[in-house]
Amino acid sequence: MKLAKSAPALINPEMLKWAREERGFDVETVAKRFKMSPKDLTAFENGTKLLTFAKFREIASYYKRATAVFFLDQIPPPMKMPGFRRLPDHLDEPISPELKLEIRRFHQKREDVIDLLDYAPTFDWAYLDTADLTENPEKVGLRLRELLRIPDDFPAKLNNYQTFNSWRERIESLGTFVFLARNVGLTEMRGLSIVEKPFPFIAVNRKDSPRPRCFTLLHEFCHLLLKDSSICEIKHEHDYHIDKHEVFCNHVAGAALVPKHLLLETPAVRSHGRLEDWSNSELSILAGRFRVSREVILRRLLILGKTSVGFYRTSRQNLGYPPLKTGGGGGGETTPQRVLYTDGVMFTSIVLEALNRNAISYADASDMLGMKVEHIGTLESLVDDKRR
């Protein structure tokens, strides 16, 4: 029997409030969106008034929740949020609805794969919790390269995007998902990580350029080595007092991307002598060799005693950090390309393997991948190309 659109929605009103808060919306925002008073929305949430079924479905869609969720008797356990370290002038700001939605999406993908463990490769995640803040970050950076099997001549002839993709593939080979966040501002989140077994995950902001993405990726991977979940923004330890984990992870990421022995052996550094000043041309050459930003090169030169704090600070200001140029926005890409790039090869492959072994239906796969069934064949071809 089909319900009339004007029929009352006999949902659990507590779920209505929970879904709104989980989505990151306040009462005024939702009330304005649906052309009702805040008083009426509050009444719907405390059960003194009933929504029509049609309006309920609209609100459920706005909250990005299945309608069945609102009929649950009890509120689900809270979503695990990474530790959030903020700039001083952003301390009181709530997490945006866009970031909350992305974190929820990542958690759901992880839960989907946990249900498909029989169709996933076997991992032990032994690398988690193998670093300590008392260690020398330079040594941890080299150990990270060894763990990911990174040769000294890397990235050789790879371009910026290929370099990021290579780092990503190496990390995913350890059983760690690397997702790309969409529609989240760089000033709010550059990267995040969740340390849980099975399948910990990292996410980096797709709006960022590929070289900064590499730094963020290794910074977040270091958080996993420390067994420390996090959300990271654009910030530097010399600007203000930040968490010691952030300082450590910044150092390790720099040491992994630009190892001491390789930097000091480059002709540009060997021929530079003891001068503390570095030209933009020299910095650009070094940044190109390692596929990192000039900011990273400057920081490495400072740490290794090849420049002064004064020159570093002056030069960094001239570089205009933070670089909010966006890259990889997805213009012109097809739906299968977007899904593969944002969700990663490992997650996509596990879902497709379960589908091909009849463990899930095409409808299930469509939901997990966030794409129409008609695109799945093309997605499989893209994954096969990646594996070759």
Half-sphere exposure of 16 (CA within 13 A, CB side): 25
DSSP lists the bridge partners of residue 52 as 8
- Torsion on CA atoms 148, 151, 157, 163, rounded to nearest 10: 20
- What proportion of the chain, given as a percentage, has pLDDT over 90? 69
Give the model's pLDDT for residue 9: 86
Q: What is the pLDDT of residues 110-168, one digit of tens each?
A: 999 999 999 999 999 999 999 999 999 999 999 999 999 999 999 989 999 999 999 99
Residues sharing a CB contact under 8 Å with residue 374, sequence separation 6 or more, in sequence order: none
What is the mean pLDDT of the segment spanning 2-29? 84
Residue located via tokens 């040491």: 255
Among the listed ranges 90-99, 211-220, 352-361, which one has the minimum average pLDDT value? 90-99
CB 327 within 8 A of CB 359: no
One-letter amino acid for residue 387 of the chain = R
Residue located via tokens 């029509």: 52
Q: Read off the pLDDT band of 58 (50, 70, 90).
A: very high
CB 131 within 8 A of CB 225: yes
Q: Rounded to two decimals, what is the model's pTM? A: 0.83
Residue located via tokens 């866009």: 98
Q: Are strands 191-194 and 177-181 parallel, antiparallel or unpaired?
A: unpaired
* pLDDT over 50 at 300, yes or no: yes
CB 116 within 8 A of CB 183: no
Residue 200 CA to residue 174 CA, distance in Å, equals: 10
Give the model's pLDDT for residue 37: 94
Residue 242 CA to residue 251 CA, distance in Å, equals: 13
Residues sharing a CB contact under 8 Å with residue 127, sequence separation 6 or more, in sequence order: 147, 174, 224, 225
- End-to-end CA separation in angstroms for the chain: 51
For the chain, what is the mean pLDDT? 88
Q: What is the pLDDT of residues 254-287, one digit of tens each?
A: 999 999 999 999 999 999 988 899 999 999 999 9
CB 297 within 8 A of CB 287: yes
Give the model's pLDDT for residue 68: 86
Q: Is 201 helix (H, G, I), strand (E, B) or coil?
A: strand
